[in-house]
Amino acid sequence: MGLDITVLIADWTWLGEAAPEERLSRLRDAWYDDETAMWDHDAPGTEGDWEWPRGPHSGSFGIYGFRCTAGSFKAHFWTGERWEAVRDHADPLLRAELDTLLLGLIWRGMDGEAEQVDPGFFHDDPAIAYGMLLARSPDNVRELAGAWERVRPLLGGLREAFDEHAAVPGAWAGTFDSFTDLLEDWGRVLSEAARRGWGVVGLTE
């Protein structure tokens, strides 16, 4: 699990102007193109905030900097593992909603088979879609944002069970606070994307 992840929210209409096999490269090209992107570094942007391109693509996508992850996917992977350890001890309503949220974003599920890439919008050829860890359409983003809003007021009730069954101090997502910090970051991503009617994409370098 040595992967890094960069999480972007993106305008599906802008991406949809390209053919499916060209959409991922369009997003990557805009992300990497320093000359046209002219990144806005006036805001913190690196942890717990957004970076937005200032050039022609300024209204097309943004990148969120997750806190305390150093860009690594490990924090996300281990959040799923901590959830597996504690989910049987969670309130049934929280369990159902957090299952929905994590299955939609970063967790492969108890059977290890959940996928986080919606088929059809980006090209389904693995060679073309190489490096894509997550792709959720605006419709699915709205559903996941709704799940987050239902999860958020219930999370505090999970602390005692987490401390007993899932805590591994010093490890990724090994404390309740680090576990919930990552969930809150995902909540910010989903809320902003839903507000704009955009999708969410997670890419490796």
Instruction: Encode pLDDT of 140-186 as tens digits.
Output: 999 999 999 999 999 999 999 999 999 999 999 999 999 999 999 99
d(CA 20, CA 164): 47
**What pLDDT is stored for residue 171 in this prediction?**
95
Residue-wise pLDDT tens digits, 69-81: 988 999 999 999 9
In a domain, 148, yes or no: yes
Residue 25 has pLDDT above 90, yes or no: yes
Q: Do 197 and 138 form a contact (C-beta atoms < 8 A)?
A: yes
Two tokens, residue 116: 């986080």
- Could you tell me the pTM of the whole model? 0.92
In a domain, 1, yes or no: no
Helices (H), 55-175: 74-86, 92-105, 138-151, 159-165
In a domain, 83, yes or no: yes
Q: Give the single-character DSSP code of 125.
A: -
Give the domain range for residue 64. Answer: 6-203
In a domain, 66, yes or no: yes
**Structural domains counted in the chain:** 1
φ/ψ region of 112 (left if φ > 0, alpha if ψ in -120 to 50, else beta) reads left
**What pLDDT is stored for residue 197 in this prediction?**
98
Residue 43 has pLDDT above 80, yes or no: no
3-state secondary structure 174-193: CCHHHHHHHHHHHHHHHHHH
